[in-house]
Chains A and B, each alone.
Chain A
Amino acid sequence: MRFWHRRADDIDEEIATHIAMDIEARVGRGESPEEARRAAMREFGNTLLVRETARGMWAGEWLERVMQDGRYAWRQLMRSPGFSLVVIGTLAIGLGATAAMFTVVNRVLLETLPYREPNRLVLIHADGRRGEVWSAPWLDVQMWRQQARSFEEIAVSRNDFAATFLEGQSATQRVDRMWVSANMFRVLGVTPAMGHGFNIPAGDPITGDPGDVAVLSDAVWRDSFGADRSIVGRAVTISGKSFTVVGVTPRGIVFPARSQQPQVWTALKIGPEDSSRENTVPIYNTLARLKDGVSLEAATAEMKTIQPGVAKQYKDAFASSMVSSIILKRYGATLVDKDVQRSLLALLGASALLWLISCVNVTGLMLARGTARQREIAVRGALGASRIRIVQQLMTEGMMLSLCAAALGLLLAVGLLQMFSHGLVTQLHVQGIVPDWRVIATLLALTFLSAVMAAMWPAISSARASIEPALRQGGAQVGYSRSRQRVQMTLVVTQISLSLVLLVGCGLLLRTIYSLRHAPLGFRTDNIIVGSMVAPLYRYEDRDIIATLYKPLLERVKAAPGIDAATLMSDVPLGVNFRLMFSFAPEGNSAEAIRHRDMTAQARIVGPEAQQVFGFHMLRGRFFNDKDTAGSPGAIVVNRAFVDQYYQSGDPDKAIGQRLLNFTKDRPGTVVGVLDDTRQVSVAQQSLPEIEVSLAQITPGARFYVPATRGRMSLAVRSALPTSVIVPRIKELMRAASPELENTTFTSMTQIVEDTYGNQQIVARLLVCFGGSALLLCLSGLYGLLSQVVTQRTREIGVRVALGARRGQVIWLVLRQAGRMIVVGTVTGVALSWFASRLVESFLYGVRPHDVLTMGGVAVLLVGSGLAAGAVPALRAASIDPVEALRAE
């Protein structure tokens, strides 16, 4: 900077020299010194302008000018802190909301996976009669591997549904374990941070024997082994079996992507059990890396030619029809739920709308201020500032305000994310989310855009105003131009209509939440506590875990003081722990058996006490009771949706006594009761067909035993005691039964119900925030403009009052103007909402997107509050004292 100051001094001196020489010459010609000085100055002209243009010849001078503008702008802002704060606050609301939403979108939708060229990673899914099949038996995968030419390499993985426990240095930790083929990390393109990773067997990388080896995630290495570098090569115990550690992944790299649990990977082996396509063989998820340059479409086309050959290998025609076609999906695209994506984009849109409103609001404020500053600007123009220069100056002011707003907005965004962290974790599975560089860059771009939008127009219109009248007249009436006021009115109308759009969205979501809260669930939710247990199944491989662990625990819980009822269940209604789908195995080829094959149903294994806890309503027959034991005939309970869907008669009476499935080969099960419908998956989703069996009848070897005991079981307890008393009591009992159960998580049934509409909840809450802010902004815009108008028309109103206008007439004068803006804004807003509400259609429940009541209600709210905002300046106008008003001019 100093350099430029020196240059400025230089030019000053040069100019001074020039004038001095001129004076000297003139005096030499005989003019008096005084005369000579004046003539020389006149001859030279505007020294400042010369200096500025001369300096302008030098590059880098613009920087100087920006600094100068910045300093000037800062002084301007400090001179009217109230105005500055209002502008900064307004913009900060818009910028903050947008930054917060973009942070989430960035994290959930835009983040790239931490693998090498993640775009080339694809999942291969068979597709058929019942839709997409996510996993396939080994023989199918092997055919894909042998025939497809589109892939560099194919790897497989298998989920360990049973809970896995890792024996660490000091304690046993629950981890997520995935069986992966030895080449999985090669396909992902991940190199371990420590160790060599899986040894890829000579010969075939998947069918070769990799040995009993494991790779630990960075999180497990730190948590369970205290980041001990000597871990590689040592043996660790995972669910009772010993594995040699061959690697630790780099920090933050997990597979499946975005898994939140600590993870370990063990090498899977293809064994003799993989040599058929029976229903009982292990199934694998297939991840493939496309060859460089091969498109997804080309690979899909190739696989489509291969798949019919694979399907032909299935002896059973029905089984074959389930895998008749194939789908390839980019791995990244499968990670985001469509619902989540929609709600995030809707919220991002809403926040952008709020940002737009705040910009429009600030434009109005800047215009009003431009009017007030017209004299200052005129003076600057008279002193030689060019129009461009004035626009530049005003833009700098706008930029500075905008930057302050961005800083404040960033804080607001962090606060907003904090406020909604529960929803973010349960709905989007993102934790500890903070704005990163990409968000900051976007925020800066928005900031710049805000400055341009908010300051450009006022700046240009200020600069265009002619200098002379502004300087000549002065006083408050200056700048009361009709066209500028029309612009301001348009701005207010815009704000009103945009706010209305946000408020309609908000109203629709609130009505949805209301409907969801009042939807009939089909069971009671009050006073129920649910503990989801994760048991170490591997320690019960030779014993009946139900009889030795769960049953005794249940008896002890039931006997504890303050417990009204307690039951075991594979999962509670609306639970998210694990969903058991039941489909009928092919049993014979009778017409009945063939019809059965198309049936799928939710399956639930419940204790007979479930009815006492949840108060299920029986439509026909009975629920399970104590007489249903391991020795008695198999009993099945189905729900009404099951009867409606799978019995042509739809008559529940006919369903009773029907044989549905066999518990074991020689033990058939018959339907003993029909439940009234309940919500099983989410409140908004109608009942699905469901079958229930009694826990007491599930013994090792029986159907359902394996899925029922994969290590997860819920304990539902009805008790009038407060949670803080009951939970520790149950926990104590669990710890006594098995130390691993100590980590059981407890939730209330009401919370579980609410979490199922968490998506709507979070959208609704954020929209309430955005809509409320928008309403406040548009009301303040309306109020501000009317106040300005009243101030400008003080004299006119004074004259009117002096000529006999009544108070009511004056109030009407102002309110009429307010009313016009409100009506126009509301009408356009309703029209806009008509289109915009389609965007939230997918979240709605119990209310249509074009709900007249909601739109009407919101319109009434806006008109009412708008008139209230207008009433304040109107009353002020009415109280104008004509004598004062006329004298003041």
Chain B
Amino acid sequence: MAKKSEYRNRIELVQGTLDMLILKTLQWGPQHGYGIVQALHTQSGEVLQVETGSLYPALHRLERQGWVRSEWKKTDSNQRARFYQITAAGKKQLASDHDRWQQMVEAIAAIMQTTPGGE
């Protein structure tokens, strides 16, 4: 039970957005799992902390869908790691995900900005 309250301090990802974020991150180039976590962390202004328990299943799911591809390579520090790379299908998916996301954000924003009583 103690665990739950700890989690509340973090912003939880809106469902279904993790895939999009991963694909977006991979657009800059192949990256390994740890790298993706770090990238998301820094790019979100240290707000988002992706759970590994969600990240790895998501990566494997994306690979099965054919949106990313993986291979074992050496890192700069000469360590073996599995690098994920976005595929052409993945880029298409990212574009459509992004569009939908945009629409949703606008829709939500429109609702949230309406002041009570003011038409």
Residues of A within 8 A of B51 (CB): 45
A101 to B81, CA, bound (A): 63
Residues of A within 8 A of B79 (CB): 17, 20-21
- Check A57 against B81 for contact (C-beta < 8 Å): no
Partner of A50, one of B32, B37, B57, B61: B57
Shortest beta-carbon distance from B15 to chain A in Å: 16
- Check B82 against A10 for contact (C-beta < 8 Å): yes
- Check A58 against B64 for contact (C-beta < 8 Å): yes
A140 to B13, CA, bound (A): 89
Residues of B within 8 A of A22 (CB): 34
Q: Is the CB of B115 closer than 8 A to any CB of chain A?
A: no
Query: Dominant SS at the B interface?
Result: helix
Interface residue ranges of A44-96 to B (CB < 8 Å): 44-46, 49-51, 53-59
Q: Is the CB of A342 closer than 8 A to any CB of chain B?
A: no
- Check B64 against A59 for contact (C-beta < 8 Å): yes
A22 to B33, CA, bound (A): 11
A59 to B60, CA, bound (A): 11
- Check B52 against A55 for contact (C-beta < 8 Å): no
Residues of A within 8 A of B80 (CB): 13, 17
Of the four ranges (under 10, 10 to 19, 20 to 34, 35 or more), the interface on chain A belongs to: 20 to 34
Q: Is the CB of A18 closer than 8 A to any CB of chain B?
A: yes
- Check B53 against A49 for contact (C-beta < 8 Å): yes
Residues of B within 8 A of A14 (CB): 33, 56, 81-82
A58 to B64, CA, bound (A): 7
A320 to B10, CA, bound (A): 100
The chain B residue with its CB closest to the CB of A52 is: B57
- Check A54 against B34 for contact (C-beta < 8 Å): no
Partner of A45, one of B52, B59, B61: B52
Partner of B34, one of A10, A18, A51, A59: A18
- Check B57 against A54 for contact (C-beta < 8 Å): yes
Shortest beta-carbon distance from A292 to chain B in Å: 52
Residues of A within 8 A of B34 (CB): 17-18, 21-22
Kindly name the residue among B56, B61, B79, B80 whose own CB sees the greatest number of chain A CB atoms within 10 A: B56
Q: Is the CB of A841 closer than 8 A to any CB of chain B?
A: no
- Check B81 against A55 for contact (C-beta < 8 Å): no
Shortest beta-carbon distance from B59 to chain A in Å: 8
Residues of A within 8 A of B52 (CB): 15, 18, 43-45, 50
A15/B81 contact (C-beta < 8 A), A21-B34, A58-B64 known: no
Residues of B within 8 A of A24 (CB): 77
A21 to B79, CA, bound (A): 9
A49 to B51, CA, bound (A): 12
- Check B57 against A56 for contact (C-beta < 8 Å): yes
Partner of B60, one of A20, A49, A57: A57
Shortest beta-carbon distance from A864 to chain B in Å: 55
A45/B81 contact (C-beta < 8 A), A21-B34, A57-B61 known: no
Shortest beta-carbon distance from A18 to chain B in Å: 5
The chain B residue with its CB closest to the CB of A49 is: B53
A289 to B79, CA, bound (A): 82
Interface residue ranges of B36-59 to A (CB < 8 Å): 37-38, 51-53, 56-57, 59
A659 to B57, CA, bound (A): 102
- Check B64 against A53 for contact (C-beta < 8 Å): no
Residues of B within 8 A of A565 (CB): none
The chain B residue with its CB closest to the CB of A14 is: B82
The chain B residue with its CB closest to the CB of A59 is: B64
- Check A50 against B64 for contact (C-beta < 8 Å): no
- Check B81 against A21 for contact (C-beta < 8 Å): yes
- Check A57 against B82 for contact (C-beta < 8 Å): no
Shortest beta-carbon distance from A188 to chain B in Å: 57
A124 to B91, CA, bound (A): 75
Q: Mark A1-30, 1 if CB is under 8 A from B, else 0.
A: 000000000110111011011101100000
Residues of A within 8 A of B56 (CB): 11, 14-15, 50-51, 53-54
Residues of A within 8 A of B38 (CB): 25
Residues of B within 8 A of A25 (CB): 38
Residues of B within 8 A of A11 (CB): 56, 60
A44 to B51, CA, bound (A): 8
A13 to B38, CA, bound (A): 19
Residues of B within 8 A of A59 (CB): 64
Residues of B within 8 A of A58 (CB): 60, 64
The chain B residue with its CB closest to the CB of A54 is: B56
Shortest beta-carbon distance from A171 to chain B in Å: 74
Kindly name the residue among A17, A46, A51 whose own CB sees the greatest number of chain B CB atoms within 10 A: A17
A146 to B33, CA, bound (A): 87
A15 to B32, CA, bound (A): 11
The chain A residue with its CB closest to the CB of B77 is: A24
A520 to B73, CA, bound (A): 98
A18 to B64, CA, bound (A): 21
Shortest beta-carbon distance from B45 to chain A in Å: 19
Shortest beta-carbon distance from B10 to chain A in Å: 12
Residues of B within 8 A of A46 (CB): 53
Residues of A within 8 A of B64 (CB): 57-59
A49 to B55, CA, bound (A): 12
Interface residue ranges of A429-475 to B (CB < 8 Å): none
A55/B60 contact (C-beta < 8 A), A17-B32, A17-B34, A24-B77 known: yes
Residues of B within 8 A of A13 (CB): 80, 82
Residues of A within 8 A of B32 (CB): 17-18, 21
The chain A residue with its CB closest to the CB of B62 is: A57
Shortest beta-carbon distance from B115 to chain A in Å: 42
Partner of B53, one of A53, A55, A57: A53
A51 to B34, CA, bound (A): 15
Kindly name the residue among A13, A14, A25, A45 whose own CB sees the greatest number of chain B CB atoms within 10 A: A14
Shortest beta-carbon distance from A392 to chain B in Å: 19
Ordered by A's residue number, 15 sampled pairs between the chains whose C-beta atoms are within 8 Å are: A11-B60, A14-B56, A15-B56, A17-B32, A17-B33, A17-B34, A17-B80, A18-B33, A49-B53, A50-B52, A53-B56, A54-B57, A55-B60, A58-B60, A59-B64
**A-B contacts besides A13-B82, A18-B52, A20-B79, 14 pairs, CB < 8 Å:** A10-B82, A14-B81, A15-B52, A17-B32, A17-B79, A18-B32, A21-B32, A43-B52, A45-B51, A49-B53, A50-B56, A50-B57, A53-B56, A57-B64
Chain A contact residues, CB within 8 Å of chain B: 10-11, 13-15, 17-18, 20-22, 24-25, 43-46, 49-51, 53-59
